[in-house]
Amino acid sequence: MSKILLQMQDVSLGYGEETVLSGINLEIRESELTVIVGESGCGKSTLLKGAIGLLRPTVGSIRLLGADLEGIDEEKLSALRKRVGLLFQGGALINSMTIAENVALPLNQFSLLPPGAINSLVRMKLAQVGLEDAMHKTPPELSGGMRKRAALARSLAMDPELLLCDEPSAGLDPVTAAALDQLLLDLRSALNMSLLVISHELGSIDAIADRVVMLAKGKKVFDDSLEQAHSTKISVVKDFFDRRPARSQTRGRSVLERFVKG
């Protein structure tokens, strides 16, 4: 059986006295691509924060890359995070720096490699996402799709075992989004990575997901293959994939508000 990279057991997560997620059990395995779906505010981003120790569970346990996050010190947690890539929804690139300098940031901060080796790695990472020719440009000079690919290259700089993506295709036109989806699949295959992706884009979900996990009202309500997600009788999952209003929330809110917001 493949190795478990992320494991949550009976986890509750929240902010202060507010509980956002409770009773979460989840396993992310080696070479797997799992997509987290659900309405805005259901706890998708909270789950990602818990996965990397930015939020500590009030109940339950989280193991990341074999290490229990309970009571882990900051030095060991920092070392774990170096093995995890993060692709933020907006890219989080620094506009005053070139694309090459952005990609080099984690290498300069967390590795002991000499400048020549870092430059070679930056070129390789940009080549992997098709941006080697844009390395001297700044983020404002790039299209939205190119900025997403540049941010992806930076998230891959430390050769992560697990890549966490928050709405990678949000804001992109369908053609560019489809190209980014294929790039994620190609990189997963080439680099033997596991991916945990937040998405509300049905086209992207259908293109990339091995497995779908749905959150609703602070709980995990579905965890199975993409095929099962499309055939399930669970109403909230069926409504999501059919883009119909949830039965208990049909008054006063549009489908766009319920399902399209991240």
Q: What DSSP string describes 92-157?
A: ---TTS-HHHHHHHHHHHH----HHHHHHHHHHHHHHTT-GGGTTS-GGGS-HHHHHHHHHHHHTT
* Phi/psi of residue 49, nearest 5 degrees: -65, -40
pLDDT of residue 251: 38
Residue 194, token pair as written in the block: 């596991």
Q: CATH assignment of 4-83+162-260, given 3.90.1640.10, 3.30.360.10, 3.30.450.20, 3.40.50.300?
A: 3.40.50.300
pLDDT of residue 256: 35
pLDDT digits (tens, 9 = 90+) for 11-36: 999 999 899 999 999 999 998 999 99
Domain definitions of the chain by residue range? 4-83+162-260, 92-159
Q: Say if residue 129's pLDDT is above 60.
A: yes
Give the distance from CA 213 to its chain's centroid: 13
pTM here is 0.86
Q: Say if residue 261's pLDDT is above 60.
A: no
Q: Say if residue 183's pLDDT is above 60.
A: yes
pLDDT digits (tens, 9 = 90+) for 77-124: 999 999 999 998 877 899 999 999 999 999 998 888 999 999 999 999
pLDDT of residue 71: 84
